[in-house]
Amino acid sequence: MANKPIKGGEFIIRDVHYSEVFTPEEWGEEHIMIRQLCEDFINQEVLPVLDRTDKMEDGLMESIVEKAGELGLLGLSVPEELGGMGVDFKTSLLATEHLGSGYSFSVSFGAHTGIGTLPLLYYGNQSQKEKYIPKLASGEWKAAYCLTEPGSGSDANSGKTKAKLSDDGKFYVLNGQKMWITNAGFANLFTVFAKIDDDKNLTAFLVEANSEGITLNPEEKKMGIKGSSTRQVFFNNVIVPVDNMLSSRENGFKIALNILNIGRIKLAAGVLGGAKGAIGLAVNYANEREQFGRPISKYGAIRYKLAEQAIRTYALEAATYRAGQNIDDAIFSLQNSGLDKSEATLKGIEQFAAECAILKVAGSECLDYVVDEAVQIHGGMGYSAESMVERAYRDARINRIFEGTNEINRMLAVDMVLRKALKGELDLMGPAMNVANELMSIPDFGEIDNGTLAAERRYLNGFKKTLLMIAGSAVQKLMQTLSKEQEILMNIADIAIDTYLAESTLLRVEKKINMKGESESELDIAIAQTYFYEMACKIEKSARDAINSFAEGDDARIMLMGLKRFTKTDTFNVKEARQKIAQKLIEENKYCF
C-alpha cells in the first residue's frame, strides 16, 4: 500500500488500495442530515410544482431558489464568515447529488451555486466577496455566468464581447452578446467574459444585472429543462467600474477553465441523483404494471434493465466520491503547504481535471442510459407527457452538452494526462515501456489467487496495461499528428473512463467487504463482477478499433495478441448476478445500493 496521496491521472500507473478511497458507505451523521435536508426540499418544494415550473410561471423558480437559500443550501461551499456553511468538497457533491433529482431546479441551483458563485468566491478580492457573496449565499441575489457566444462554444476564448477602458480610467465599457445563459431571466449578478482591446485572452467582470444597457431576449424554448431560465444577454455600452474586474487582466480564460473543472464533477454528482430518481420511477412502475397476469418486474427482460441501471449508477457513485475525496486530500495538503483556502481549492481541483472530465462523460452517459431504459420499462406510458420519466428523458439530454461536450471532454481527459507526462509530473513512459517489453516476452501467469474479487483485480491490471499499450503506441507512432486523430483519442479516452470506473467500483466493494464482511456485501460483489465482465468487452473493442486505426503488420499482430491476453475473462453467469441485483431493487421498490 502506498503512503503518498494519489495524484491526478496516477490511477493509470499505480495500484490503489481501498483504504486510500472514500466510499458512500462511510457517510457520517452530519452528512446524512444534509442528505435528508436536500431530499425533503426536493419532495416538498420542487416535485409538487413541476408542471408550473415547466410552464415558466413568473417568479416561481426564483422563489424556489430563495427558499433553498433560506435553508442554507446555496451557501454550502461558502465560508462561514461570508454567510455560508463552509463544508468540504465531497459534502458539496453530496448535496448536489440529492438535489439532482429536482429536474429544472437542479439546473438553476447548479448554475447559481457553481458557475455563478464560485468564480467570485475563488478569484474575487476581499471587497468583492464581502459585497456580493453573502447575498448569493442567502438567495437574496441570484447569479449567472456569461461565457458562451453565438460564435464561440467549445472554443470559449474566441469570444467577441469587448471591454474598453474609459478615458478617465474609472470604468470599462462593455459591448457584446452572450447566449444560453442559465438563470439570466432573474439573475442579479453576471460574471461576464470579454476581451479588453486586442488582448489574446479573456478578462472576467462582475456586472450587476440592473446596469443600464443590458437587455435580454425572450426565454429560449428548449427540448428539456424547460423550467430553468435560459436567455440571450446583450451588453450595449454597459458601464462596469474598474473595481469589478475579477482577478487580473487576461486571467478570464483560466478562470473559465478552472470553474468548468468544478462544474464537470458537480454535474456527475447531479446526474447521479437524477439516475437514482429515475431508477425509483422505473422499479415502481415495473412492480405496479401487470401484463399476462403478473407484474412486469417478474420478467427477465425487465430485470436485466433494472439491474443494469443500478450497476452503472453504482459505478458512477463510487468514482464520483472517490474523486471528491482525492480533491479534498489535495486541498488539505496544499493548505498545509501555505496556500489560502481559495487557491488551494482551485489547485486541488485542477490536479484532478482529467478525472473531472472523465466523470462528466461517464455521468451524463449513465443518466442517458438510465432514463432511456426507464421510458422503455414504462412502455407507451413512458412516451406520455403526463409521466415523470418523459420529463426525465428530455431533461437528461442536455448533460452531454453542458460543461463542454462529451467529445471535447474525452479529448481533454487524454490531453491533460499526456501533458502531465510531458511535464514530468506523471511517469507514463516507464510503465508503457514495461508493457511493450511484456508483449515481446513469454507470459508469466504466476500463482493464481482465487480469493473474492481476485479475478477482478487481475482484470483491472490488464485494463491498465491495455491503456498504456494503446496510448504509448499511439504517441510513439503518430507523435505530433495524434492531436488530429480524434477517433483514436476517443478510443483511448473510453478505455481510460472504463478503467477508472471499474477500479472505483472494485475499491468500493473491497472496502465494504473489509467493513461489513462478505455476506453483507454479496450484491455489491455481484455488481463488481458483472461490471468488470462488461468492461472487459468494451475495453477490448475500443482498443482493437484503435490498433486497427494506426498499426499494421507485425506491430498490429503483437498488440492484438497482447490485447487478447489483457482483456481475457473467466466464464461468469451474468444473468444470475443481474437477477439477484434486480430482485433486491424490486423488493425495496427503489434504488437501494
Catalytic residue annotation = 403
Task: Name, in order, each residue with C-beta under 8 angstroms of 593's C-beta and a sequence gap of 6 or more.
Answer: 310, 313, 314, 523, 524, 527, 584
Quote the CA–CA distance of 410 and 421 in Å, as a whole number.
17
CA distance 458 to 455: 5
CB-based contact 178:149 (threshold 8 Å): yes
Q: In this structure, what C-alpha cell is assigned to residue 88?
A: 468540504
DSSP letters along 370-425, please?
A: HHHHHHHHHGGGGGSTTSHHHHHHHHHGGGGTTTS-HHHHHHHHHHHHHHHHHTTS
Q: Can you list the positions of beta strands (E) in 183-227?
A: 189-196, 203-208, 214-216
Amino acid 479 reads M
What residues have CB less than 8 Å from 83, skipping those under 6 apart? Answer: 75, 133, 134, 137, 138
CA nearest 108: which of 184, 221, 178, 207? 184
**Cα distance between residue 593 and residue 583, in whole Å:** 12
Q: What angle do CA 238, 244, 246 make, to 5 degrees?
A: 120
What is the rounded distance in angstroms from the CA atom of residue 458 to the CA atom of residue 479? 31
Residues 6+ apart with CB under 8 A from 456: 502, 506, 528, 529, 532
Give the 3-state secondary structure of residue 543: helix
- Give the amino acid at 379: G
Q: Are 393 and 375 in contact (CB under 8 A)?
A: yes
